[in-house]
Amino acid sequence: MDNCFATPAVQQPIQFGADLVLHSATKFIDGQGRVLGGVVVGKKELIKEMYLFIRNTGPSMSPFNAWVLSKSLETLYVRMDRHAENALSLARALQDHPQISRVKYPYLESHPQYAVAKKQMSNGGGIVTFELKGGVESGRKFLDALQILSMTNNLGDSRSIASHPASTTHSKLSEAERQEVGITPGLIRISVGLEHIDDILADIRQALDQC
């Protein structure tokens, strides 16, 4: 189970039967875009299968990166609460925007797996996606108009980050391949940061006005 978006602070898949859980610690676990790292947790006999490969091929992180990530864990629960609080406020505020056809966030009642999210997660996490009615061109205009939000392919930073997968991370795929993985032409992904929600909303709204 890839638990990168939720982190252990929001969801613990092993409690629901997962054998191995993966985290890109580069994201929310670090929380400030400082280091690269990853985590695999699970049953001892399964971890043992990977141990020699990891030790011999080099993906083990440096002592400094490990120290940075261990310090980040001290604030993980506090940060994830704020990420989720901002994300839910953003998702609710955008539901009726005229430029947006749909908003997806696990803790919105409109989400198809809302009941599952409420059962398994302590909050909805920090990722909000929405679909712009104008497709790819609107997605590009939206990113160009942002003034506060960052534009990178990362997520889970203390800063809010916006991405338009159809023209960036998934642009080399065919339209059919993008559709297969849920990447629609106007899809925008927001990794909602720790800024004041009013500032996040103001920047997104003014960018939407220019789509």
Predicted structure pTM score: 0.92
What's the whole-number mean pLDDT along residues 90-94? 98
Predicted pLDDT of residue 118: 97
d(CA 63, CA 132): 43
Torsion of CA 113, 160, 169, 36, to 10 degrees: -100
Predicted pLDDT of residue 141: 94
End-to-end CA gap in the chain: 36
* Residue 58, pLDDT above cutoff 80: no
* Residue 59, pLDDT above cutoff 90: no
Tokens 């899809």 appear where?
187
Tokens 């939000």 appear where?
149
CB burial readout 138-170, b (16+ within 10 A) else e? bbbbbbeebebbeeeeebbbbbbbbbbbbebeb
Query: What is the band of 119 on the pLDDT scale with cuts at 50, 70, 90?
Result: very high
Predicted pLDDT of residue 55: 79
Tokens 């978006």 appear where?
5
Altogether, the residues listed in the chain come to a count of: 211
d(CA 117, CA 106): 6
Show the domains of the chain with their CATH numbers.
7-75 (no CATH), 76-208 (3.90.1150.10)
